[in-house]
């Protein structure tokens, strides 16, 4: 297992609730909440259906030296969970994983915000 990779749990609910639980190597450890539009959640769920998420394998093997991504979806009476170690799944699954993070804006908790430091007063050397 890659202990340097970010470890977090992210839950998106149909009502637009986002719950992030930062566990390790994230800029915001602990539980954080946000809201996105219900439409965004529904569009994301439909993208899962359109990309064949329910037809993918439930597991893509195992590995000891990489991260593991677990995804699951409950939508319109269907449910599916996929375990993907070491990025072993198909490209369509990787795209969906990235879309989850994009729609939920999880980067704010995983990487934090960039800070710019300004030094004042500005010193100019004269040549």
> Residues 52-61: pLDDT tens digits?
999 999 999 8
> What is the reported pLDDT for 75?
92
> What is the reported pLDDT for 64?
77
CA 85 to each of CA 27, 60, 102: distance values in angstroms, whole numbers, following the listed order: 23, 7, 21
Which residues have C-beta within 8 Å of that of residue 35, sequence separation ≥ 6?
A: 16, 17, 18
Residue 57: count other Cβ atoms within 10 Å of its Cβ. 13
> What is the reported pLDDT for 114?
41
CA distance 104 to 97: 11
> Residues 3-48: pLDDT tens digits?
788 899 999 999 999 999 999 999 999 999 999 999 999 999 999 9
């Amino acid at each position: 297992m890659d202990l340097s990779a970010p470890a977090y749990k992210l839950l998106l609910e149909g009502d637009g609730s986002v719950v992030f639980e930062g566990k390790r190597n994230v800029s915001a450890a602990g539980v954080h909440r946000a809201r996105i539009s219900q439409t965004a959640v529904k569009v994301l769920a439909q993208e899962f259906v359109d990309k064949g998420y329910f037809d993918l394998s439930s597991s893509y093997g195992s590995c000891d030296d990489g991260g593991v991504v677990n995804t699951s979806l409950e939508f319109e009476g269907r449910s599916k969970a996929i375990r993907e170690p070491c990025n072993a799944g198909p490209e369509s699954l990787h795209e969906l994983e990235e879309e989850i993070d994009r729609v939920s804006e999880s980067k704010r908790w995983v990487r934090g915000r960039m800070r710019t430091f300004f030094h004042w007063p500005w010193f100019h050397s004269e040549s």
